[in-house]
Structure 1
Amino acid sequence: MVNVQLVPHCDDFCERIYDLSSDPPVKDALGLPDGTIESTKQFIKSMILEEAEGKTVSRVILDENSKVIGITTLMFIDHVTKSCHIGSWIGHQYWGRGYNLASKIAILRIAFNELNLNYVFAGARKSNIRSQKAQEKLPFIRLNVETKFPIEHGKLEYKERQPCVLNAFYRDDFVHFLNSKEPEGAYNEKMG
């Protein structure tokens, strides 16, 4: 498996984040408007502020050479329900190389070990097939949990303003994955 490092946001990463997120395959998948370096700086400032307020934990993903390749964020952190949502993106040239799995493991360690959460929700627009397929490859995700968590699903669809799928990472599944030498495939709520 590839190695990644998650680091806090800083202005030094601004141009690289802008370049990666402006690439049409990433920009279009995320539904991002045309951005600027200045809007990227504002995004970084907002992530730092939201983290200081306890609303998010957002990290820049670095590859083995300490090069910025994407961002992963725990958002809408709710310590009462012990849950949050995750949002991630990786630069197009890094797709299909194992960075999604490696970065998910790293950020979920923060969610479950440091924040002591029980659930991390991973949504995707129904139109974003690539994101759905990337989530389906993760061996410790539960797919199609919309009926089990209808409120979270409703919040997601309201935020995105379009139909979405809802998947989830459960703390126990993640711990089992970390302790297992032969991890099981994704668990589909509709199947069992």
Structure 2
Amino acid sequence: MDVPEVTSLCNNYNIYKNTLYLPYSEEDAFNWIKNHLKNFNEDKNFEFAITDKVTGKLYGAIALSNEPKFNNGELAYWIGEDYWGKGYGTEAAKAVLQFAFKEKGYHKVFARYFHTNPASGRIMEKIGMQQEGILKEHIKKNGEYLDLICFGILKQESSSLEKQEI
């Protein structure tokens, strides 16, 4: 199981400050991982590891929520700091977006990021998402209010992305 790897990657202040929720202890990591398959099989939430294609080394994780009432889902991800800026997040986000529209038949996918983490916003832009709004001082983290920047993409907007290279 990936518990030690997840714990090692997530136990990092630079990741913590840019995420809403993230496991830190081995117990947190275990509790987070243990329901992935069940949630996937029950069509609730889809969690995927971001790994090296050859070695399987864990780089991070990406998730897609399922909101069947609205036929949409939220995209969320984290990458270990040693792997930032190498395109892994963008590649994974594009693949999960295709999964959302082709396999799950979603109408829309949305994502959010703190204004203090523009790199996450660049991933959203690269996969064709557009900024839909800013929730001013919406989140309080470590005693500071943070803006939450909201992005989204509709299924019909994503068709041109399939031909693009990342």
Q: Distance in 2 between matches of 1:133 and 1:45?
A: 31
Q: Which residue in 2 is equivalent to 1:73?
A: 63
Instruction: Provide structure 2 residue ranges, at least 5 long, that are not aligned to the other structure.
Output: none
Deviations 1:96-121 (A, max 9, x none): 11111210121112111111002110
Deviation (angstroms), 1:32: 4.9
Correspondent of 2:133 among 110, 135, 146: 146
Correspondent of 1:168 among 134, 148, 152: 152
Q: Distance in 1 between matches of 2:59 and 2:33?
A: 15
Q: Does 1:95 align with 2:68?
A: no
Q: Distance in 2 between matches of 1:118 and 1:159?
A: 31
Deviations 1:156-186 (A, max 9, x none): x5899853111012222322111357x9xxx
Q: Distance in 2 between matches of 1:38 and 1:72?
A: 20
Correspondent of 2:106 among 96, 114, 117: 117
What is the one-letter code of the residue matched to 2:64? L
**Which is richer in helix?**
1
Q: Any idea what SS the aligned residue of 1:112 has?
A: helix
Q: Distance in 2 between matches of 1:115 and 1:23?
A: 33
Q: Distance in 2 between matches of 1:23 and 1:32?
A: 13
Tell me if structure 2 keeps the 8 A contact 1:122–1:169.
Answer: no
Q: Any idea what SS the aligned residue of 2:64 has?
A: strand
**Please, what is the CA RMSD of the aligned residues?**
2.8
Deviation (angstroms), 1:141: 1.4
Q: Distance in 1 between matches of 2:140 and 2:51?
A: 28
- What percent identity do the matched residue pairs reach? 19
Q: Distance in 2 between matches of 1:87 and 1:123?
A: 8
How many equivalent residue pairs? 161
Correspondent of 2:163 among 158, 173, 179: 179
Cα distance change of structure 1 residues 115 and 33 upon mapping to structure 2, 3 Å threshold? closer
Which stretch shifts more, 31-40 or 164-173?
A: 31-40
Q: Distance in 1 between matches of 2:101 and 2:6?
A: 27
Q: Distance in 1 between matches of 2:90 and 2:60?
A: 13
**Which is richer in strand?**
2
Higher relative contact order (CA 8 A, sep 6+): 1
Q: Any idea what SS the aligned residue of 2:70 has?
A: coil
Instruction: Provide structure 1 residue ranges, at least 5 long, that are not aligned to the other structure.
Output: 1-11, 148-152, 184-192
Deviation (angstroms), 1:130: 3.5
Deviations 1:40-74 (A, max 9, x none): 10111233343343221111111122111110000
Tell me if structure 1 keeps the 8 A contact 2:18–2:116.
Answer: no
